[in-house]
Amino acid sequence: MTKYPHLHRIIDDAKSLGPARVAVAYPCSATSIEAAVAAQKLGLIEPIMVGPRSRIESVAAAQNADLANISLIDTGEDPLAAAAAAVRLCLDGQASLIMKGSLHSGELLSAVTSKDSGLRTARRVSHAFVFDLPNYPKPLLMADCVVNINPSLMDKRDITQNAINLARTLGIDRPFVGILAAIETVNPAIPSTVDAAALSKMAQRGQIEGGVVDGPLPFDIAISIEAARIKGVESPIPQRPDILIVPNLDAGNLLYKQLVYLAKAECAGIVLGVRVPIILTSRADSELSRVASCALAVIQAAGQRTVLNAA
């Protein structure tokens, strides 16, 4: 039995959909090229590498990476030009995903979220991870640990809705969502508890759809049914959550790295809230994490097409 069955199921499900054309923005590092080539070999993507041709080919040659069956569009040395070209490929229908290469995340996201990009939606852009934890019985989604630094209440509403939509695309029909805070009671001195309570009420009133939302919840009560019982906390979430929403980037980024480096989790992550999913990996991510992120984006893109076709 594989050590990370949930991520491998995501990869297998994505394979069944066929490869998606992916604009890889500025892949000028060994890790970004290797990730695209690995996902291509598994039949997940058809990469279009966008950036300085000579530099990309030089890095690929040093890594013995085969670019023979990969399209390459030369945009010169400017990473912003590569990001803009990747956006245009999606707008022209030549690609259905964007993958971050070795440019900064902010450079890519500024091109994607520009008012003139054509990829923005009415919803806030956010990031979501899917974790595969050895001691957790199902996939665990977490948002937003990467993009939104100090989100407002309405930002958190969109972050939560984006994560719920992703969970439903993965086959979790009615995900249970825990809104994390330091304590389980509302305290105006801790703004995250006020936001969490508001998000719970918003879900009850239909402002957040498709999931069961509860908060504020400290991490132990959210994750451990036994901890909730001992502390006398009753929750409408009858089992361990499918999704955790963190209060801000500091808390989320720290928790995400603790799960990876101390709890031996692997994860896949994508950017949501735009018309095409964005694969936004880190230089330190494992190959499994990078490949699973590609697979997650392929599934999300297929889900978004299904929604659009049904509309």
Q: Which residue has the higher pLDDT, 306 or 208?
A: 208
Evaluate whether 266 touches 7 at the Cβ level (below 8 Å). yes
* pLDDT for 23: 97
* pLDDT for 236: 74
pLDDT at 300 over 70: yes
pLDDT at 155 over 80: yes
The model's pLDDT over 229-264, given as tens digits with 9 standing for 90+, comes to 888 887 777 678 999 999 999 999 999 999 999 999
Structure tokens at 168: 């439903």
The mean pLDDT value of the chain amounts to: 92
* pLDDT for 307: 54
Q: Give the angle 296-301-306 at the CA atoms, nearest 5°.
A: 125
Q: State the distance between the two ends of the chain, measured CA to CA, in whole angstroms.
A: 40
Residues 144, 115: Cα–Cα separation, whole Å: 22
* pLDDT for 234: 79
pLDDT at 310 over 60: no
Q: Which residue has the higher pLDDT, 7 or 232?
A: 7
* pLDDT for 117: 81
- Cβ neighbours for 161, distance < 8 A, ≥ 6 positions apart: 123, 208, 209, 210
CATH code of 122-273, in short, is 3.40.718.10
Structure tokens at 3: 């050590």
Q: Which residue has the higher pLDDT, 2 or 17?
A: 17
* pLDDT for 228: 83
The model's pLDDT over 177-236, given as tens digits with 9 standing for 90+, comes to 999 999 999 999 999 999 999 999 999 999 999 999 999 999 999 998 888 888 888 777
pLDDT at 62 over 60: yes
Cis? peptide before 151, omega within 30° of 0: no
Q: Give the angle 23-167-116 at the CA atoms, nearest 5°.
A: 40
Backbone angles phi, psi at 185, to 5 degrees: -110, 155
Q: What is the pTM of this model?
A: 0.93
Q: Fill in the amino acid letter for 10.
A: I
Mean pLDDT of 285-308: 87
The model's pLDDT over 68-101, given as tens digits with 9 standing for 90+, comes to 889 999 999 999 999 999 999 999 999 999 999 9
Residues 111, 214: Cα–Cα separation, whole Å: 35
Torsion, Cα 207 120 95 32, to 10 degrees, reads -90
Calculate Rg over the CA atoms of the chain: 19
* pLDDT for 15: 96
H or E element at residue 246: none
Evaluate whether 288 touches 266 at the Cβ level (below 8 Å). yes
pLDDT at 306 over 70: no
Strands across the sheet with 20-25, in order? 71-74, 45-51, 20-25, 97-100, 278-279, 266-272, 126-132, 140-143, 243-245, 176-180, 212-217
**Which range among 55-59, 158-162, 221-225 has the greatest average pLDDT?**
158-162
pLDDT at 131 over 60: yes
